[in-house]
Amino acid sequence: MILGVGTDLCDIRRIEQTLTRFGDRFTDRIYTPLEIQKAQKRGASAANRYAMFYAAKEACAKALGTGFRDGVFWRDLKVDNLPSGQPIMALSNGALERLQTLTPDDFEAKIDISLTDEYPMAHAMVVISAQPKRA
């Protein structure tokens, strides 16, 4: 069963300007240390990665039905990857609490995420679903 769907489009040029203007003040407020490390590995195209992560966080906050309020904060939403490279979203703190309230008893939540970028835009889609718990 689908619990929430969110999508977001982020202008990479806006992220480039924000990185130039605010640097670490911006990244430390929005991104987890792992996300910063992954973006910085991209060198000159770090802004593309930051924009995809930004879009993913926005999309997930929308899928949770709260946006960034009611205890859901930017760093509560972490983009990571499985060993296969598939992107995943890990939630903590207020975002995890919100997910738990959305998930019916005897079900477990699953978050599917899709990321893409084509300069000057980055896009993310998040689908939160619930599956019956396995016995």
- pLDDT tens per residue across span 79-135: 999 999 999 999 999 999 999 999 999 999 999 999 999 999 999 999 999 999 986
Number of H helices, E strands in the chain: 5, 5
Query: What is the pTM for the complete model shown?
Result: 0.94
Q: Residues 81-94: pLDDT tens digits?
A: 999 999 999 999 99
Tokens 């130039």, located at residue:
20
Question: In the CATH scheme, what is the code of domain 2-132?
Answer: 3.90.470.20
Q: Which of 38, 66, 33, 64 is nearest to 51 (CA)?
A: 38
- Cβ-based neighbour number of residue 69 at 10 Å: 9
Binding-site sequence positions for Mg(2+): 8, 58
Binding-site sequence positions: 8, 58
Burial class for 68, CB neighbours closer than 10 Å (0-12, 13-18, 19+): middle
| Residue extents of the structural domains in the chain | 2-132
